[in-house]
Every structure is written in C-alpha cells, then in structure tokens.
C-alpha cells in the first residue's frame, strides 16, 4: 500500500460522492457494522489516475486470506463441477484476486476454507480473498475502478447492490456466459432471480452478477420482539395490520424513567447513519403504499419520490413517531444492536442478515435456542389501511467478474463462481453451517433454513413480491443524495414541504445523469 496521496479525477469524484465523501454518514444511531476501525494514518494511491482532486483517506487494514487453515477439519470435495465447462489448466500460473466490500467474520472464515480447497486442487490458478473495510461502498467502487485502470485491480469484485449498479453501468462487469446464466436460473430461487439483473453501459438489464458470499437478504422485514409483544397483552407472533395498530402497540411498548427519559423505544425508524441506507429504508414503505419511486417511461426517467405518498409516510411513520407520540428519539440507541439489547421493540424495516447477526453476537442466550432463533420474528411492513398488500425489495450483495482483465482470467473467474454456486460443500461451509441466508434454492431448502422460524420468514418474504431495489444505474448516488435530504426532514432541519421539493430535485439531478432505457 502506497503512502502517496490518492489522486482522483474530478468527474469521478463528483460522480461518486454527490456532495462530499465526508457526507456519506449523518448524525444518528449506526447499526451493527458501524464499529471503530483500525485506521492507517496515510492516504492511498490508485496509480495512473488523473490528479485533479486530492482526497485524504483513512481506511481499515485489508485482510488477505492465504495459506492453509489451521485447527479445522477440511471436508472432502473437489474444486470443480460437472455442470460447467472449465478451461484447460494454464501453462503459466495465474492468481485470481477477489476484493470484497465490508467484512462478515463467519463468512470470511468460511472463505478461508474455500480458498484452501480451490488452491489445493488448482495449483496453477490460485485465488486470494481481500476483504476491504473502512470505505463506503461507493468509495470501494471507485477504488476498484481506478486500480483497474492502473492495471492493479481485482479480478472478481464483491459489492453491495446499490454500488454494484454503478460498477456495472461504468463497464467494469463482464456479462455472465450463457452457460453460467443457465446455472444461475437453476440454482437461484425464482422468487428472487430479479436480484442478478443490472443495467449495463447500454442501459439494458442483463445478468452480470451472482448472489454474494454474504449480505444476501430475500427481502426487508419489520422485526418484532415477541417478549415485548406479550408484555403489551398480545400473543407472540403478532403482526400489525395497519399503521394505527403499529403505532398503538409501539406506544404500549415504549418506556420512560421517572425523570421522563426514554429507556425503551417501541419503534425504531432510521433517521441517521449511512445516508444511502436512510433512503433505502423508506423505499419499501413507499412501495407498499403504491409509489413506483423510480421508473423509465417514454425514454425518460420518472420519479414520484416527492409525491403525496412520500408526504404521508414521512409524516405518520417518522415525524409523528418521533415528535407527536415520542415513541423514538433520534439521540436514543437504535437499529439492530439496540433491538438485540431490547432497547428497541420493533425495527421498521431492516434486513435479515444484519438483524440475526447482531442478535447472535449481542444477545444469543435470550434469542437463540436449540431449534434456532426465538423470541423475535420478521413481519410484513404494515400498510396505511388494512387489506393493502405489503411489498418489499430484495437486498443482495453480489459478485461480478472484472471486464477489464485478460480473457484467460475471466474464464477461470467464471469457473470459480460456477463451482461456488453448484458445490454443496462450499455452500454448506458458507451458508448452512453459519446460518448465513442466501437465495440459492438448495440452501434455502436445507438445515437450518428448514426450521419453522426460517420457513415463516421466507413465506413472509415471498408474500411481499420482492423485486430488485436497483431502480436506476446510479442507485447508490441517488441513495446518497436522497438520504441526505430525508435525514434533514426527519431531524426537522427543514420543513416537510420544502424538504420534499429538495428531495425531488436531488433525486432528479442524479437520475438525469444516465440515459433512460429505450424500452
């Protein structure tokens, strides 16, 4: 890692940050992944970049997975598959470098074992996993692109889907070979196949990615503490039928001390933290109420993000919850860690992996038993009025193969992903053994995901008709721009009328930077 300054082309800088890299997080409670980083007090260079803007950066140390795992028993399997045509072994050794945005310790340990199996069976095609923490997903994407331009980029990229959309649209993802696309259609559950289609540089949606090693959530849920439900006089497993019922029960769950300080919030709503997440969380609530949010029509991008639907969702589920009913306070602990510690009774909405991961880490004795999760459940997002269908989005990290690498590397990268997707031992290590949910049908239909808790969660997921949350090729930039304005509305830094105007303008400003699909 170089100690020179990181030079970034001004066009790329503005495209990826929207306002400023420092503006990717705003005030408020952060979730489980917001942990203190071990930082390097230096800047990072992407050689070959046009040096017009200098951005000082501190990033967490990368972790390179190499060598033979110790103190484990390796399963017997062979790193190949009869379901995909592997290329001939290369005459000269090659190395596949895989960069992963963020870290999830149980999955990293599993990838270590998977790398060992692959490298044992393919001595001339070695694979190396490099998880990168401490960067936003857009900063990570820019790092991948600039390193690729300099000839030092990754061969395979693992990213969250908002930022992956930018990577694909910018032309850094290779279209999956038809043979691999056929395998994807075979192994991915048909209810969630929409998650692997992205807009390419020609603004046509095709299959560029595969479900990732972690961060794959069939949909978002409203998470409810069943112990608190029973305290409120209801039966465990209760789901709110509409907004009124949600708020009424959340009020019963909310507790204050004798001095009037909030000590337990009945309902957490996302008002701070990573700004793209602020935008992302409201989209499922808007979709349930009939909003389309972003779509292409007549060769133009359209949005109803500043419509009356957004107005009533913000007023009732954010402003009223915070200021009228005093169910939540922006300064109070929130998100999945607070849910795990029982400081929050309902989280509305959130992803499966983050919720279960936090509970398993923070409070397993209370929420996990011999049969798996207990004492909490994932519910559909309640609509404004009873009888309206709850809708949601898929939230899925994914892999892509760098389109700029040599053809021989591409073939071997796709071969690795084919093995990953088809080998039961690999998926057992990465998903089943650690309770890491994904959208591969065979994983979802095997233990531990066959127990009643997970089956009910999946039933709820499929009932919400999940679609890809990537509604535009520049979805991450839209999320950053929109989330920044939404946070200001929630915190009353701007009134609702003016805030909606600013929200519409911010989203449209980014939308128009990419051409709309022609059909």
Paired with 97 in beta bridges are: 128
Other CB atoms within 10 A of residue 403 CB: 18
Residue 519 domain flag: no
Q: How far are the Cα atoms of 90, 115, 223, 416 from residue 93, in angstroms, in the given order?
A: 6, 16, 49, 15
pLDDT value of position 24: 53
pLDDT tens for 417-445 read: 999 999 999 999 999 999 999 999 999 99
- Note whether 246 and 379 are within 8 A (CB): no
User: Cα(334)–Cα(325) distance, rounded to whole angstroms?
Assistant: 17
> Taken in order 237, 239, 245, 248, is the CA torsion positive or negative?
positive
Looking at the structure, do residues 284 and 200 belong to the same domain, yes or no?
A: no
pLDDT at 105: 87
Q: Count CB-CB contacts under 10 A for residue 141.
A: 26
Residue 113 and residue 128 in one domain: yes
Q: What's the confidence (pLDDT) of residue 499? A: 98
Identify the DSSP state of 72: -
CA 310 to chain centre: 23
Based on the domain organization, do 429 and 478 belong to the same domain?
no
Tokens for 359, please give them. 């509970």
Residue 54 sits in the same domain as residue 174:
yes
**Rounded CA Rg of the chain:** 23
How large a percentage of the chain has pLDDT more than 90?
Answer: 80
477, two tokens: 């930039």
Whether residues 382 and 450 share a domain: the answer is no
Quick one: 333 and 436 in the same domain?
Answer: no
Query: Containing domain of residue 386, as a range?
Result: 220-393+471-511
Residues near 382 by Cβ (< 8 Å), separated by ≥ 6?
222, 239, 240, 241, 242, 243, 245, 246, 390
Look at residue 519 in the predicted model and tell me its pLDDT: 67
Give the total number of structural domains in the chain: 2
* Residue 445 maps to a domain: yes
Q: For residue 336, with 0-12 CB atoms within 10 Å meaning exposed, 13-18 middle and 19 or more buried, which class applies?
A: buried
Q: Assign 102 a pLDDT band (cuts: 50, 70, 90).
A: confident
pLDDT for residue 56:
31
Q: Which two tokens stand for residue 324?
A: 């009228």
State whether 92 and 232 are in the same domain.
Answer: no
Question: What is the residue-averaged pLDDT of the chain?
Answer: 87
- Cβ–Cβ < 8 Å for 453, 371: yes
> Confidence band (pLDDT; 50, 70, 90) for 383?
very high
3-class secondary structure, 195: helix
Confidence at residue 42, expressed as pLDDT on a 0 to 100 scale: 29
In a shared domain, residues 447 and 336: no
Q: Is there a contact between 155 and 401 (Cβ–Cβ < 8 Å)?
A: yes
Question: Has residue 196 got a pLDDT over 90?
Answer: yes
Q: Return the DSSP state at 374.
A: -
Reported as a single tens digit per residue, the pLDDT across 230-288 is 999 999 999 999 999 999 999 999 999 999 999 999 999 999 988 999 999 999 999 99
Say if 51 falls within a structural domain.
yes
Q: What is the pLDDT of residues 464-490, one digit of tens each?
A: 999 999 999 999 999 999 999 999 999
Confirm whether 12 is domain-assigned.
Answer: yes
| Judgement on whether residues 231 and 170 belong to the same structural domain of the protein | no
Nearest 5°: phi and psi at 493? -80, -15
CATH of the domain at 323: 3.40.190.10
pLDDT recorded at residue 48:
33
pLDDT at 185 over 70: yes
Q: Which residue has the higher pLDDT, 74 or 144?
A: 144
**Does a structural domain hold residue 416?**
yes
Q: What is the mean pLDDT of residues 107-119?
A: 95
Question: Does 54 fall in a domain?
Answer: yes
Is omega for the bond preceding 349 within 30 degrees of 0, making it cis?
Answer: yes
Residues 190 and 290 in one domain: no
The reply to whether 48 falls in a domain is: yes
Residue appearing with tokens 């996990």: 368
Same domain, 483 and 434: no
The interaxial angle of helices 161-169 and 475-490, nearest 10 deg, is 140
Task: Answer whether residue 518 is part of any domain.
Answer: no
CA dihedral (230, 235, 239, 244) positive or negative: negative
Q: For residue range 29-83, what is the model confidence (pLDDT) as tens digits?
A: 333 232 333 322 223 333 333 322 233 333 333 334 444 444 445 556 788 889 9
Q: Are strands 372-373 and 368-369 parallel, antiparallel or unpaired?
A: antiparallel
pTM for the model stands at 0.86
Q: Which of 434, 451, 468 is the last residue of a domain?
A: 468
Indicate whether 94 and 185 sit together in one domain.
yes
């Amino acid at each position: 890692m170089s100690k020179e300054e990181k030079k970034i082309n001004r066009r790329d800088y503005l495209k990826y940050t929207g306002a400023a890299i420092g503006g990717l997080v705003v005030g408020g409670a952060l979730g489980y992944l917001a942990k203190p980083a071990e930082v390097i007090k230096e800047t990072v260079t992407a050689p070959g970049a046009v040096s017009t803007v200098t951005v000082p950066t501190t990033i967490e140390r990368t972790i390179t997975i190499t060598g033979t795992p110790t103190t484990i028993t390796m399963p017997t399997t062979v790193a190949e598959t009869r379901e995909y045509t592997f290329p001939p072994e290369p005459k000269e050794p090659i190395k596949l470098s895989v960069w992963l945005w963020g870290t999830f310790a149980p999955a990293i340990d599993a990838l270590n074992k998977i790398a060992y199996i692959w490298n044992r069976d393919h001595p001339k095609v070695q694979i190396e996993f490099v998880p990168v923490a401490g960067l936003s997903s857009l900063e990570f994407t820019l790092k991948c692109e600039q390193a690729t331009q300099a000839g030092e980029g990754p061969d395979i990229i693992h990213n969250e889907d908002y930022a992956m959309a930018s990577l694909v649209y910018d032309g850094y993802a290779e279209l999956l070979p038809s043979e691999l696309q056929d395998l994807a259609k075979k192994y991915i559950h048909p209810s969630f196949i929409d998650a692997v289609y992205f807009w390419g540089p020609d603004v046509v949606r095709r299959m560029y990615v595969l479900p990732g090693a972690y961060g794959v959530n069939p949909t978002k849920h409203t998470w409810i503490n069943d112990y608190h439900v029973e305290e409120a006089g209801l039966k465990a497993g209760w789901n709110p039928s509409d907004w009124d019922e949600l708020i009424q029960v959340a009020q019963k769950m909310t507790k204050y001390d004798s001095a009037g300080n909030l000590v337990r919030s009945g309902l957490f709503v996302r008002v701070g933290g990573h700004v793209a997440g602020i935008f992302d969380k409201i989209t499922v609530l808007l979709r349930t109420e009939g909003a389309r949010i972003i779509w292409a029509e007549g060769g133009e991008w359209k949005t109803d993000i500043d419509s009356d639907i957004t107005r009533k969702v913000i007023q009732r589920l954010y402003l009223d919850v915070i200021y009228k009913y005093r169910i939540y306070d922006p300064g109070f602990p929130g998100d999945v860690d607070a849910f795990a510690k029982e400081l929050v009774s309902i989280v509305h909405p959130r992803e499966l992996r983050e919720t279960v991961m936090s509970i398993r880490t923070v409070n397993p004795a209370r929420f996990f038993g011999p049969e798996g999760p207990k004492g909490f459940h994932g519910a559909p997002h309640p609509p404004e009025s009873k009888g309206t269908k709850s809708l949601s989005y898929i939230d899925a990290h994914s892999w892509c193969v760098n389109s700029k690498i040599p053809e021989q590397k591409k073939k071997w990268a796709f071969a690795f992903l084919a093995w990953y997707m088809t080998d039961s031992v690999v998926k057992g290590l990465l998903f089943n053994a650690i309770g890491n949910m994904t959208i591969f049908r065979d994983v979802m239909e095997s233990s531990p995901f066959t127990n009643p808790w997970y089956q009910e969660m999946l039933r709820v997921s499929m009932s919400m008709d999940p679609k890809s949350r990537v509604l535009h090729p520049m979805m991450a930039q839209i999320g950053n721009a929109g989330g920044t304005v939404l946070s200001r509305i929630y915190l009353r830094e701007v009134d609702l009328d003016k805030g909606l105007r600013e929200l519409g303008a911010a989203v449209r400003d980014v939308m128009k930077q990419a051409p709309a699909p022609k059909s």
